[in-house]
Amino acid sequence: MIEIYTDGASRGNPGEGAIAFVFVEHEKVILFKAEYIGKTTNNVAEYRAMISALSEAINKNIKEVILTSDSKLVISQIKGVYKIKAEHLKKLNEKIKELSLQFDRIDFKNVKRENRFISIADKLCNTILNLS
C-alpha cells in the first residue's frame, strides 16, 4: 500500500499555481514531484495535484493507494459528503473517480496541514512558486 500526499497552491485566488505530491512507503519518501500550473484557484490546484498523483501511480502500476490531502473541501467532495456546485470542479471530480477505477483499492483521507508529508508537498509547491 502506497500513501500519496498531495498539495495544490495558488498565490492569490486565482493566482499563480503549483501542485506537488509525495509517495510514501513504510514511512519513507520514495517519489516526489512538483510543477507550476499557471493561473488557477486553490481548489483547482488541489484537484489537479490529486489527478497528477493518481496518474503517476497508474503509470507506475501501483494498485493500492491511500490518497491524502489537507483540503477538507476536496476530500469531502470526492467522498460525496459535500455537494459540488461549480461545474469546473465537477469535471475534475469526475476525473478523480475515473482514475480511481484503475486501482484495486483506493482510500481518500483528510489530514491537518501539519502532517509531515503534507508539509513536504507544501514546501515543494512553494519552491516552485518562488521560482516562477
**Cβ(69)–Cβ(50) under 8 Å?**
yes
The CATH homologous superfamily to which domain 2-131 belongs is: Ribonuclease H-like superfamily/Ribonuclease H (3.30.420.10)
- Give yes or no for residue 36 having a pLDDT over 90: yes
Confidence band, pLDDT 50/70/90 cuts, at residue 132: confident
pLDDT at position 55 = 98
DSSP 1: -
The angle subtended at Cα 93 by Cα 78 and Cα 33, nearest 5°, is: 90
**Mean pLDDT in residue range 41-45:** 97
* For the chain, domain boundaries: 2-131
Which residues, at least 6 apart from 42, have a Cβ–Cβ distance to it below 8 Å? 8, 9, 10, 13, 17
**Cβ(67)–Cβ(107) under 8 Å?**
yes
**Mean pLDDT in residue range 61-85:** 97
pTM of the model: 0.96
What cell does 104 get?
A: 484495486
